[in-house]
Amino acid sequence: MKSKKRIVLYTIITIVVIALILAGALHKSSKSNSGVTTVSVAAPDNNRPYTYPDNGKIGGYYGALLGRIDKDLKQYKFKQATTAQNSVFVGLQSGKYDLAVSNWWYSKDRFSTYLHSTSNGLDDLRLITRKGGKTASSLKDIAVKKLSLAPISTDDARYAFIQDYNKKNPKYKIDLKGIGDQSAGDALKQVSNGQYDVAIYPYAAYKPVASTSEGTKLTASKSIGLENSYFLLNKSDKNEKLLKVLNKELRKLKDSGYLEKITKQFLYENTFELPGADTRFNEDPTK
């Protein structure tokens, strides 16, 4: 009888000890995980070579940049997704996403609606025209020669860029038409088939199209300017803290040469070596 009681007692003690060990392990795991903040990140799914889907993550320039940031910032875990560009902005404004990554340029509306980082890259702007067709080497040329500009998505920073140009140059306004989401390939096809005279794109967005059957009919102007790109974040206390960390990390990656490295890897040229790049990078966009 005593033997049976001892067995029961030992069994109870064993169960209690195991339970305490498991509770301790869970507490330790919880404590470890509690120090990590999850950040929901979204990027356009059709913006090569900047962003595109890559095995459930973000590929391209911003995929590489985000991967490096994720590696460096141990206190954050970046949950990645790709979707249509307009869905990125809807999700960012609603708080579904904390961070939006792509080559977002400055616009007054964007910077008042969202938090924004310091510059994370430089875009080399070009005018794309049809070989043997009408030519342009500046935005003023488009206005003076009365060239038709391919429509631009209204949530694309190029649209705000042309709007801003028109405000500053009332005598040389460009006829600007808005459109919904559209890939660079589809827009440039409208130039190659003669529907429109010219399109404005970063060189890196034009380059993948240049080798296609439609792209071989096109030519790119020399650089007409450099535009800084930024991360955009949903406005929240959590993201205010994240922003400070991101800005510090971006300074580190610029100083270490990492931004230059992935620029050469993904954007077909080193925009940081172009004339004026040193002063243009991180320049105040409101001036």
Q: Are residues 233 and 265 in the same domain?
A: yes
134: three-class secondary structure by DSSP: coil
The confidence score (pLDDT) of residue 60 equals 99
In a domain, 21, yes or no: no
Domain end, chosen from 209, 225, 241, is at: 225
Is it the case that residue 209 has pLDDT exceeding 90? yes
The confidence score (pLDDT) of residue 30 equals 35
Closest by CA to 125, choosing from 158, 165, 85, is 158
In a domain, 28, yes or no: no
CA 134 – CA 113 distance, rounded (Å):
38
256: three-class secondary structure by DSSP: coil
48-82 per-position pLDDT tens digit:
999 999 999 999 999 999 999 999 999 999 999 99
Per-residue confidence band for 22, with pLDDT thresholds at 50, 70 and 90 = very low
Is it the case that residue 102 has pLDDT exceeding 70? yes
Q: Are residues 221 and 129 in the same domain?
A: yes
Q: Are residues 188 and 238 in the same domain?
A: no
Q: Are residues 108 and 128 in the same domain?
A: no
- Is the separation of the CB atoms in 51 and 102 below 8 Å? yes
Q: Are residues 221 and 174 in the same domain?
A: yes
- Is the separation of the CB atoms in 181 and 86 below 8 Å? yes
Q: Are residues 204 and 165 in the same domain?
A: yes
Report the CATH number at residue 261.
3.40.190.10
Q: Are residues 235 and 221 in the same domain?
A: no
In a domain, 140, yes or no: yes
Q: Are residues 153 and 221 in the same domain?
A: yes
Per-residue confidence band for 183, with pLDDT thresholds at 50, 70 and 90 = confident
Closest by CA to 188, choosing from 224, 150, 232, is 150
264-277 per-position pLDDT tens digit:
999 999 999 999 99
Q: What is the mean pLDDT of residues 99-126?
A: 97
Q: Are residues 103 and 129 in the same domain?
A: no
Q: Are residues 139 and 195 in the same domain?
A: yes
The confidence score (pLDDT) of residue 11 equals 55
Q: Are residues 39 and 117 in the same domain?
A: yes
Mean pLDDT (the chain) is 91
Q: What is the mean pLDDT of residues 123-132?
A: 98
Domain end, chosen from 194, 210, 225, is at: 225
Is it the case that residue 12 has pLDDT exceeding 80? no
Domain end, chosen from 201, 225, 249, is at: 225
SS (HEC) of 171-197: HHCCCCCEECCCCHHHHHHHHHCCCCC
Per-residue confidence band for 176, with pLDDT thresholds at 50, 70 and 90 = very high
Task: Count Cβ atoms below 10 Å from residue 1 Cβ, excluding itself.
Answer: 5
Q: Are residues 146 and 69 in the same domain?
A: no
In a domain, 69, yes or no: yes
What's the domain range around 252? 35-122+229-280
Quote the pTM value.
0.85
In a domain, 93, yes or no: yes
Q: Are strands 76-83 and 57-59 parallel, antiparallel or unpaired?
A: unpaired
**Looking at the 3D structure of the chain, how many domains does it have?**
2
In a domain, 115, yes or no: yes
The confidence score (pLDDT) of residue 119 equals 99
